[in-house]
Structure 1
Amino acid sequence: MTGPRICIFGAGAVGSHVAARLLRAGIPGVAVVARGPHLAAMRERGLTFRSSREEFRVAVPVATDDPSILPPQDIVVVTLKAPALPPAAGALARLLAPDGVAVFLLNGIPWWWNYGLREGGGPLPLLDPDAALWRQVGPARALGGVVMSPNEIVEPGVVIHGAHSRFTIGEPDGGDSPRARGLVELFTAAGMPALLSTDIRTDIWLKLLVNAPGNPLAALTRLSAKDRAADPELAELGRRIAGEVADTARALGYDLTQHVDADDTMRWAATRSETRPSMLQDVLHGRATEIECLLGQVQAFARERSVPTPVIDIVLPILRGLDRSLRR
């Protein structure tokens, strides 16, 4: 085998998209970690990718629900959602080769956020409660990722892709490293347009302008982006949440108005009428949600800097209650 060993860890919607593209491009050494009926379907008949532009099926030669059987991996593309990460810390740590790298394609604030910041602070209790990720995986082996790519598993072994994709990858310290650049080149070569960021935290905040209003309100109302945008009260609620996210980011030194207008961002999000946000998918399937990385940590940052977040302060407890009911 030539080339690096690459593992897609957590082949849900985004992970299945990435796996399908890498396998179709003939990238050697790709393994997939998944579970349940989706894993069984991939083993039996491969992985099917559908979009408005194309449809194809690829064989998945190495697919398992037990990462311990895999050899050490040079690149681990982690597409688990934030609530599932801390329990997986040990498996991820064992899977990574000594000089391997894990790129975390996550929504919201990532567990490694404080790494490399002058003010330090260590792990974030809401996202890494026992510091398992910080201690076992280690933020020095992590790359940040921002995904603009709506995907959904519509049946076992089948992922649909709803629009154009963009993957942004960057070092937590803002450097231009060979490992980050190599991942950008790998994704782009496989048909997944990718950008190298030297300011990945700003990119994370910019996506939060869309995710922080869109995912929670979709989960609570079960309405599409188009339907929410057509409701003046829901649209205003979304704008207020986005405004509180922008205020919190500014207090931490990230002025998002230099990059994008929040109202324009909300209007852009409203055009994504055919996609179901990941939190809505989780609620419909009875899964735990990403509420802490999308709103909980934003509120925590805001309180540290005395930034008022009156709408988040109301919506967040309701979502936490919904999440508790799903976890039961």
Structure 2
Amino acid sequence: MKICVFGAGAVGSNVAVRLADAGVGQISVVARGAHLAAIRSHGLSLRHADGEQWHAHFDHATDDPATLPPQDIILVALKAASLPAQADALRRLLAPDGVVAFLSNGIPWWWNYGRQQGSDALPLLDPEGALWNRLGPERAIGTVIYSANEVETPGHVLHRGVNRYVFGEPDGRLPGRAGQLAELFSRAGLGGETTDDIRYEIWRKLLRNAIGSPFCALTRLGSAHCAQIPGLPDIQRALALEMANIARALGSPITDEDALRAAETQLASNGRPSMLQDVLLGRRIEAEALLGQPQRFAQELGIATPYLDTVVALLRGLDRALALDA
């Protein structure tokens, strides 16, 4: 089996090393820059915060996916805003019966596939419909990730906490393809699971992302420090309740109690979300997938979201500043 990790950054590197270490197939990685150079020269090292370590070399490591053979499974670990530009590369790389799993946070580009209401691309996430029309949502597997990772230096990645990856079919089919991925991830110690309602799982994770990541990015503080700023936790809780209201309107049974429980969990954490890591490194952030698209859903449904509207505007301003400085 040929498996490509397309975007071997923090999350992708963790997955690539563990799959290679488990010997589940021929593992290739698509990376770039100094990180790719280090992988080619010395392989890729992964260490857990508790001291456990892994090291792997790969069948192929490249910044040009066109040099790779057709892949049975592509695990895409790019930021959401980077995906549309890769639609053709992913289509060419995918074997005829292959599948693509998107290891990303927030609302995915394929969201409308298989839904009774909505049957087209989401303009905020797939502006020209490149992913929808060229790759095709029928090739996608939905994924929700619980895995905190950070590239410490090129070729060296730190993993904190747990690994949990939940796979599901966008159209709600029984999890045949998703089950295969869950089994591979479980064999690699990555905690693979399946669900018959991937959108519900996406909302559950999105609650935590929305409560934590934007505020860490805007303040440049870790989660624990954000929780100590007077008034900020109240804003985070209010945003969580708005997100739960949108989720319910779209058919996912997220209760206010679920939202407040997620808020308290996030406020008690002590992490550095990926959005904060991106800001500190001067990289653009996932404003639309995390909060912009939920805001668009709310607007279409006529739901008032004053806290969400404010945070989205601030995040878009931050992202614009990062783009200008790039």
Return the letter of the residue paired with 1:316: V
Checking the alignment, whether the CA contact within 8 Å between 2:60 and 2:68 is kept in structure 1 is no
Out of 55, 58, 67, the residue aligned to residue 56 of structure 2 is 58
Out of 96, 102, 105, the residue aligned to residue 103 of structure 2 is 105
Between 193-202 and 246-255, report the one with greater CA deviation.
246-255
Runs ≥4 in structure 1, deviation > 3 angstroms?
none
The residue matched to 2:303 in structure 1 has which SS? Answer: coil
Return the letter of the residue paired with 1:297: Q
1:237 equivalenced with 2:235 (yes/no): yes
- Equivalence for 2:131: 133
- Equivalence for 1:12: 9
1:270 equivalenced with 2:267 (yes/no): yes
Out of 70, 73, 84, the residue aligned to residue 72 of structure 1 is 70
- Equivalence for 1:322: 318
Q: CA deviation at 1:178?
A: 2.1
Return the letter of the residue paired with 2:41: E
1:97-246 aligned at under 5 Å gives the runs 97-246=95-244
1:92-124: per-residue Cα shift (whole Å, max 9, x none)?
111001111000111000000000001123000
Q: TM-score, normalised by structure 2?
A: 0.96
Return the letter of the residue paired with 2:205: K
The residue matched to 1:168 in structure 2 has which SS? Answer: strand
Counterpart CA distance in 2 for 1:61 and 1:253 is: 43
Counterpart CA distance in 1 for 2:26 and 2:215 is: 40
Q: TM-score, normalised by structure 1?
A: 0.96
The residue matched to 2:162 in structure 1 has which SS? Answer: coil
Counterpart CA distance in 2 for 1:68 and 1:180 is: 26
Q: CA deviation at 1:170?
A: 0.3
Q: CA deviation at 1:233?
A: 1.0
The residue matched to 2:184 in structure 1 has which SS? Answer: helix
Q: Size of the alignment, in residue pairs?
A: 323
Return the letter of the residue paired with 1:313: D
The residue matched to 2:284 in structure 1 has which SS? Answer: coil
Return the letter of the residue paired with 2:92: R
Return the letter of the residue paired with 2:299: R
Q: CA deviation at 1:137?
A: 0.8
Q: CA deviation at 1:261?
A: 2.1
1:42 equivalenced with 2:39 (yes/no): yes
RMSD over aligned Cα, in angstroms? 1.2
Q: Which runs of 5 or more residues in structure 1 are unaligned?
A: none
Checking the alignment, whether the CA contact within 8 Å between 2:18 and 2:54 is kept in structure 1 is no
- Equivalence for 1:28: 25
The residue matched to 2:231 in structure 1 has which SS? Answer: helix
Q: Which runs of 5 or more residues in structure 2 are unaligned?
A: none
Q: CA deviation at 1:174?
A: 1.6
Q: CA deviation at 1:315?
A: 1.4
1:279-318 aligned at under 5 Å gives the runs 279-318=275-314
1:84 equivalenced with 2:82 (yes/no): yes
Q: CA deviation at 1:229?
A: 1.7
1:67-89: per-residue Cα shift (whole Å, max 9, x none)?
00111111000111101001111
Counterpart CA distance in 2 for 1:190 and 1:250 is: 35
1:241-281: per-residue Cα shift (whole Å, max 9, x none)?
111110111111212129x62222122223331x2111111
* Percent identity (aligned): 53
Checking the alignment, whether the CA contact within 8 Å between 2:114 and 2:172 is kept in structure 1 is no
The residue matched to 1:256 in structure 2 has which SS? Answer: coil
